[in-house]
Amino acid sequence: MDFLSPLPTTQAGFDAVFVIVDRLTKRAHFLPTHSTATAATTAQLFCDFYQRLHGLPLSIVSDRDTKFTAALWRSIMELQGTRLHLCTAFKPSTDGQSEVTIKFVGEFLRHFVGPHHDNWDELLFLAEFAYNSRTHSSIGMSPFVADLGYQPRTVADC
């Protein structure tokens, strides 16, 4: 887990993306958020948009952002039996999957965002679908196939 920020502020007030990547299937979720979000807000996002789809993870790898090192975040993870693994400072290879994914999101948004750079939050679902549809060399299939067992249809399939 990591954050892509700072980004231009959208019309809805977002200026960051909360990136969550499943280490087994490589499936990712991109959630618009605020760079000033607290540990409580981040935990709520995680519960609302990740746990409802995938359940409780056994472990989480994240950087040392204050949102992930806060006592509240640690307590929530401990209560649900999730082990936290914090990356070594200045060693991005510890959480390389998040870094690769963040690079993808940034490049995707640069190509498709509007001229005022204030609508990227409306395009995140497309970036997420594109990311999860492409074959990952480390698993030899797309995250959708690894997670769901099938490749979702697209307009190109019609």
Contact of 30 with 19, CB cutoff 8 Å: yes
Collect all residues with Cβ–Cβ distance below 8 Å to 122 and sequence separation of at least 6. 10
Count structural domains, the chain: 1
We report the CATH number of the domain holding residue 81 as: 3.30.420.10
In which domain, by residue range, is 140 found? 2-157
Query: What is the mean pLDDT of each successive set of 10 residues along the chain, which is 158 residues long?
Result: 94 97 96 96 94 94 92 93 84 69 94 88 96 96 98 89
Question: Residue 95 has what pLDDT?
Answer: 58
Contact of 9 with 33, CB cutoff 8 Å: no
